[in-house]
Amino acid sequence: MVPAIPARGATPPALPASGVSTSDGSWSTLPMGQPSKQSNTFWELFHAAPGSSRWTLVTPEGTADNGGLVAGVAGGSIAAGVLPSALLRFSPLSSSSNGGDTWSPAFLPGGLARLPDALAIDASGAGLAVMQDGKVLAASKNLGSWAPLVSTVALRKAAPACAVSAIAAVAFSAVAAPLVATGCARSGRVGLFSRTDGMWHLASPSLRIGTGRGATDVLRLETSGVTTTLLAAVGGVGHGVLEVAWTQDDSGWTTSPSLPLRSGDSIRASAVGADGRVAVLVNGPKAAPAVFEVGPGRRWSSLPPPPSGVAGLALPDDALTLEAQPVDLFGVHGSALSVYELTPSGTTWSRVQTTQAPISYGSSS
């Protein structure tokens, strides 16, 4: 589920690894080093060019990213934000329009929330950012100047039936309109808001999630081309589920079947593909990690058991295998990254790449 923002001094909740693909490339953020110790956890950003199966390390340099790293993608452009940790109380931003080969610094007045989709950009270079204080900021072109856009309090007033719990994700729609997703304390509803004529309203009044029991949380919100994809969880003892919803050109929603969650399950990583596919890495307290995948018009599929050490995944925009659509898994062992792909039959995983990240333990940088 989407974690709450911790009070100062409290142990921050785990940030799930995340991946996103567009027709212009794939991106994935991963924790490396020693995840059990924040000062030796180093978040890295990897990129795969369109049609390529090779992942390249493109993490912006110069900032301690032990607290986490989040990214917003639009076509071939990306903005990356570092989460606050230790003595770092704000979120340095960097942007790139050449696949992470070079980065330009940008200013954000405050700290990003600990959410995979806390940052979004559109093709024009405008941006959205979810802040730790429950507010969303908006930036004009080139992320040069930020201003308040909306808050949790305002969204609660805009849709009392949702009973907004917390802002969970931001994105731009297919027509470049700001989208803000929230959890709902009342069952069966998803809080997805847009603004028309200066007023905020539910962009998905007919979108229902789950079986009408338990509060909802939005875990991912991404737009690629004409498709907006939303991954949501419905809580409740003994009946937690995951569901995905899709809209094309903002013209109505379709939803996936429910994926049941076991008691104590957590989403360790998720990825959204250019075609709206979603994959999740599920960890349980008493069961081995499992990988599930779903796409528009299809049921959830359980993929083969992942190799040991898997910490993230991606859905690259590559050619299909004989029996399955492409899924990449990332195995992390200290500073070593292993990339796995499904074999052509789709029944086992094959390691296709190994690379090292230049990690300096104890440096917190």
| Residue range 215-271, pLDDT digits in tens | 788 999 999 888 999 999 887 545 688 999 999 877 788 889 999 888 788 899 999
Any idea what DSSP says for residue 112?
A: B
Q: What is the pLDDT of the chain when averaged over all its residues?
A: 86
Give the span between the Cα atoms of 2 and 194, in whole angstroms: 20
| pLDDT bracket for residue 61 (50, 70, 90) | confident
Answer yes or no: is pLDDT of 16 > 50: yes
Answer for the pair 84, 90: CB distance below 8 angstroms, yes or no.
yes
Give the span between the Cα atoms of 173 and 203, in whole angstroms: 10
Answer for the pair 169, 118: CB distance below 8 angstroms, yes or no.
yes
* Run of H or E residues at 293: strand 290-294
Give the span between the Cα atoms of 259 and 282, in whole angstroms: 11
At 346 the pLDDT is 81
Token reading at 187: 């069952």
pLDDT above 90 coverage of the chain, percent: 55
Say if residue 336 is exposed, middle or buried (CB neighbours under 10 Å; 0-12, 13-18, 19+): middle
pLDDT above 70 coverage of the chain, percent: 88
Q: Tell me: the pLDDT tens digits for 158-204?
A: 988 888 989 999 999 988 999 999 988 876 678 899 988 888 988 87
Cα separations in angstroms, 184 against 190, 212, 247, 363: 6, 12, 20, 40
Residue 250 C-alpha from the chain's centroid: 20
Q: Tell me: the pLDDT tens digits for 206-217?
A: 566 665 556 788
At 234 the pLDDT is 82
Any idea what DSSP says for residue 62?
A: S
Any idea what DSSP says for residue 189?
A: B
CA atoms within 13 A on the CB side of 93: 26
Q: Tell me: the pLDDT tens digits for 94-128?
A: 999 999 999 999 989 999 999 999 999 998 889 99
Residue 43 C-alpha from the chain's centroid: 14
Residues 65-86 have a mean pLDDT of 89
Answer for the pair 295, 275: CB distance below 8 angstroms, yes or no.
yes
* Residue extents of the structural domains in the chain: 16-112+292-365
Token reading at 152: 């949790």
90-97: list long-range contacts, CB under 8 Å, 24+ apart. 91/129, 92/63, 93/119, 93/143, 94/60, 95/121, 95/125, 95/142, 95/143, 96/58, 96/60
Answer yes or no: is pLDDT of 307 > 90: yes
The region of weakest confidence among 89-93, 146-150, 310-314 is 89-93
Any idea what DSSP says for residue 261?
A: -
At 350 the pLDDT is 94
Q: What is the model's pTM?
A: 0.91
